[in-house]
Amino acid sequence: MNPLKRVADPTCSLYVLEARDGDGPVYLKVGISKIPESRAMSIKTGCPIPMIAMRAVECPSVELARLLESAAHAALRAHGTCGEWFKLTDSSLAWDAILKLMDGKKWPIRDLDVANGYTAAKQRAQVKTARAEAARLEHMKKEWISRGFSPRARFG
């Protein structure tokens, strides 16, 4: 049985991050993340060469993303440099291998903006913070009501 047919947990993305210094070789990082833009920003901090592109395959589960990641690492092993980094002349070899491993599956593939990925991750964090603040205020309102205070006097 093909292990890519099993589905278990929530969605996760397999990402391929490209870094290149001028006309030099392309260094690719192949990994998985639930929020690849945020992951790119954490990698960018320690990457000594400029990141130029990032693409992600949205897998239907973390398990499938891990299987695809392992298979991609195995397919690119001959080009490995360190950990999940691979040195190639261009990224097409990696994508040819990944698409072959996907075996015709129509999982979404999207290009990510590595230059502004931090902005997207920051916006998601701000939304999360705003929701938490709204929940805190709602809890406070209920607490005041339970103590007999009028919510209109306090919360207008």
The pLDDT assigned to 2 comes to 46
Average per-residue pLDDT for the chain:
81
Q: What b/e readout covers 126-140, taking b as 16+ CB neighbours within 10 angstroms?
A: eeeeeeeeeeeeeee
Can you tell me the distance from the alpha carbon of 136 to that of 150, in angstroms, rounded to the nearest whole number?
Answer: 18
Q: Is the pLDDT of residue 124 over 70?
A: no
Whether the model clears a pTM of 0.75, i.e. scores above it, the answer is no
- Residue 7's pLDDT band, with cuts at 50, 70 and 90, is very low
Q: Which helix (H) or strand (E) covers residue 51, if one does?
A: strand 51-59
Name which residue leads in pLDDT, 150 or 6. 150
Q: Which residue has the tokens 């391929």?
A: 16
Contact partners, residue 145, CB within 8 Å, separation at least 6: 151
The pLDDT assigned to 8 comes to 43
Q: Is the pLDDT of residue 66 over 90?
A: yes
Q: How many CA atoms lie within 13 A of 44 on its CB side?
A: 17
Can you tell me the distance from the alpha carbon of 87 to that of 38, in angstroms, rounded to the nearest whole number?
Answer: 23
Name which residue leads in pLDDT, 18 or 8. 18
As a whole number, mean pLDDT of residues 62-82 equals 91
Domain layout of the chain by residue ranges:
8-115, 117-149
Can you tell me the distance from the alpha carbon of 84 to that of 68, in angstroms, rounded to the nearest whole number?
Answer: 13
Q: What percent of the chain has pLDDT over 90?
A: 21
